[in-house]
């Protein structure tokens, strides 16, 4: 099976399995999505979703987050990894959004990535899921599965993103990146599959015998 054929098989398989995948991070709007994605760095979505209802009950806008301040934010998000840095980033970016963007989350990569604590992946998720811009954010699950499915050599997440954008139709990007995340968690986890065990790995590579050694992001 050639790479393009494998890509088409991935789309078909995941559309059947996850026809309407929901965004895994709970949020109310583009601002709370931005904060949730920032909080999810080096932390599970499940843990973020446990914390954010308390945070957004108090501060669900940049103006309210400003008033809460980094200390108040930290008191709520302490169980999350890198909480001290993230609390400072959230206060700072909220201040910038209020002062420089009239209280609205900016809608370009350049502006989003200028915000404290917002890297390319976070900006891509917001552009994709908040504003509907075609994007393919790559997390550890997508990076790992793309290598197992031989869709990229996986030297780093930016290369993986470029390779996936080149092989998958743009119309599928926003849905597909969420589908792959769900599949990676449920069937093709880091320890639960080695490229020879899960249904899709076996379907794509029926004759594969040896485990796939993935390069970390």
- Local structure of 187: helix, strand or coil: coil
Domain that holds residue 15: 3-20+136-204
Do residues 121 and 35 both lie within one domain? yes
Do residues 81 and 38 both lie within one domain? yes
Do residues 61 and 89 both lie within one domain? yes
Residue 103 · residue 60 · CB < 8 Å: no
- Local structure of 38: helix, strand or coil: helix
Structure tokens at 153: 């050599």
Annotated catalytic residue within 139, 165, 170, 215: 139
pLDDT for the residue numbered 132: 94
pLDDT tens digit at each of 217 positions of the chain: 899 999 999 999 999 999 999 999 999 999 999 999 999 998 999 999 999 999 999 999 999 999 999 999 999 999 998 999 999 999 999 999 999 999 999 999 999 999 999 999 999 999 999 999 999 999 989 999 999 999 998 789 999 999 999 999 999 999 999 999 999 999 999 999 999 999 999 999 999 999 999 988 7
Structure tokens at 47: 């843990």
Does the active-site annotation cover 121?
A: yes
Annotated catalytic residue within 121, 170, 215, 216: 121
Do residues 153 and 93 both lie within one domain? no
Hey, what's the torsion of the CAs at 165, 133, 143, 175, to 10 degrees? Answer: -100
Structure tokens at 183: 């599949």
Token pair 């080149």 is at which residue?
A: 166
What is the pTM (predicted TM-score) of this model? 0.92
Any idea what the CATH number is for the domain that residue 194 is in?
1.10.1670.10
CA distance 133 to 136: 10
Sign of CA dihedral 145, 146, 147, 149: positive
Q: Is residue 198 part of a domain?
A: yes
Task: Give the 3-state secondary structure percentages of the chain, helix then strand then coil, rounded to 5.
Answer: 60, 0, 40
Q: Is residue 199 part of a domain?
A: yes
Domain boundary among 130, 150, 173: 130
Structure tokens at 85: 């840095």
pLDDT for the residue numbered 34: 98
Short-list 24, 1, 44, CA closest to 201: 1
């Amino acid at each position: 099976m050639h790479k393009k054929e494998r890509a088409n098989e991935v789309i078909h398989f995941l559309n059947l399995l996850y026809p309407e995948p929901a965004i895994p991070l709970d949020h109310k709007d583009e601002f709370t999505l931005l904060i949730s994605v920032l909080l999810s760095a080096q932390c599970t979505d499940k843990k973020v979703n446990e914390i954010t209802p308390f945070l957004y009950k108090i501060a669900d806008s940049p103006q309210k987050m400003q008033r809460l301040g980094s200390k108040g934010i930290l008191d709520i998000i302490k169980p999350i990894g890198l909480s001290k840095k993230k609390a400072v980033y959230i206060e700072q970016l909220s201040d910038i959004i209020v002062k420089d963007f009239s209280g609205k989350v900016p809608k370009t990569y350049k502006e989003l990535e200028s915000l404290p604590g917002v890297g390319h992946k976070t900006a891509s998720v917001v552009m994709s899921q908040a504003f509907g811009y075609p994007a393919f954010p790559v997390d550890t699950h997508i990076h790992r599965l793309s290598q197992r499915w031989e869709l990229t050599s996986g030297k780093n997440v930016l290369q993986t993103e470029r390779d996936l954008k080149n092989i998958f139709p743009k119309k599928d990007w926003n849905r597909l990146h969420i589908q792959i995340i769900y599949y990676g968690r449920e069937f093709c986890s880091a320890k639960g599959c080695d490229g020879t065990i899960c249904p899709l790995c076996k379907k794509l590579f029926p004759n594969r015998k040896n485990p796939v050694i993935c390069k970390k992001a």
